[in-house]
Amino acid sequence: MISAALVRELREETGLPMMECKRALEETGGDKQAAVDLLRKRGLAQVGKRADRTTSEGRVLYQSDPATGRHAMVAVLCETEPVTGTDEFNNLAQAAVQAAVRMDDPSPEAILAQSAPGGQTISDLLLDAVNRIRENIRLGPVACFRGEVGWYLHHDRKKGVLVEFSGPCPPEIKADVCMHIVSMRPPYVRREEVDPALIEREKAVAAEQVKDKPAHMIEKIVAGKINRWYSEICLLEQPFVKDDKKSVGQLLREVAPGLTVNRFVRFEIGG
């Protein structure tokens, strides 16, 4: 006979409905830990059932570690906005970003395998959250940079940026570049990163647009169009959002000769 007190204990520990707790205890002969493990396995089934549901809400989190110089950013995704206010979601999110900042090259899979407070893994926290909340919850993009890093987290915690600079950079310039990236959404740092096939397609489009021009002018016009295109998609060539008379690259060179951006990652939930 499973006592009501034991059912209540399991309910308080797992946050799951009383009847589910009672059934789990009955199936495990009143062994509470075995019942917890059983409910967690059923949580894995919940993850599978909900895996194809759209996760258009969530939060971006940032964490730094002064001892190692690491700066980490993690997106944790869910289906609906109210879930982001739950303890389960926030405990998972905090554990995930704290794990990410301990790793040089984190991935969602590697983070889930890390330990969490209470002897669990982060994967256990995810399963428990899905089991209690009954929504699809998952880790989204993650990143961790070291060295001269700038970061920005928007007030709604749905947008964030990590930027790795090539050398020392004043904090206010770091912040400006990060906010520029949030606003202007450049897909590349510099033109050398753009796929050559994409460049050839853009050149073909530009040439088609001016095919009726004199032959000696076409090459020059196409080159001008491609340069304008680079200024739209490459961070260092974009007009700086606070002063469009200069590019982001020029802004950085004014701070220090040779200063540039090595790489960046932009996070946005629901964008």
Query: How confident is the model over 228-240, as pLDDT tens digits?
Result: 999 999 999 999 9
User: Domain holding 77: CATH number?
Assistant: 3.30.479.20
* Paired residues of 153 in beta bridges: 160
Kindly state whether residue 73 falls inside one of the protein's structural domains. yes
Note whether 128 and 79 are same-domain residues. Answer: yes
pLDDT for residue 233 = 97
Please check whether residues 41 and 121 belong to one and the same domain: no
Dist. CA 62–CA 46, nearest whole Å: 28
Q: Is residue 40 located within the same domain as residue 28? A: yes
Q: What is the pLDDT of residue 15?
A: 64
Q: What is the CATH number of the domain that holds 11?
A: 1.10.8.10
> What pLDDT does 8 receive?
81
Total structural domains in the chain? 2
- Domain final position from 146, 167, 188: 146
Question: 237 lies in a domain?
Answer: no
Whether 187 is covered by a domain: the verdict is: no
* Domain assignment of residue 126, given as a range: 53-146
Q: How far apart are CA 131 and CA 170, in angstroms?
A: 46
Question: Does residue 248 fall inside a structural domain?
Answer: no
Q: Is the same domain home to 35 and 66?
A: no
pLDDT tens for each residue of 202-238: 998 888 888 778 877 888 898 899 999 999 999 999 9
Asked whether residue 199 is domain-assigned, the answer is no
Q: Which residues of the chain have pLDDT under 50?
A: none
pLDDT of residue 50: 56
Instruction: Provide the whole-model pTM.
Output: 0.79
Does 138 lie in the same domain as 87?
A: yes
| The pLDDT value given to residue 166 | 98
Q: In this predicted structure, what is the pLDDT of residue 9?
A: 78
Q: Does residue 68 lie within any of the structural domains?
A: yes
Q: Given 31, 50, 69, which residue is the final one in a domain? A: 50
Please give the backbone phi and psi of residue 163, each rounded to the nearest 5 degrees, phi first: -130, 130
28 shares its domain with 87: no
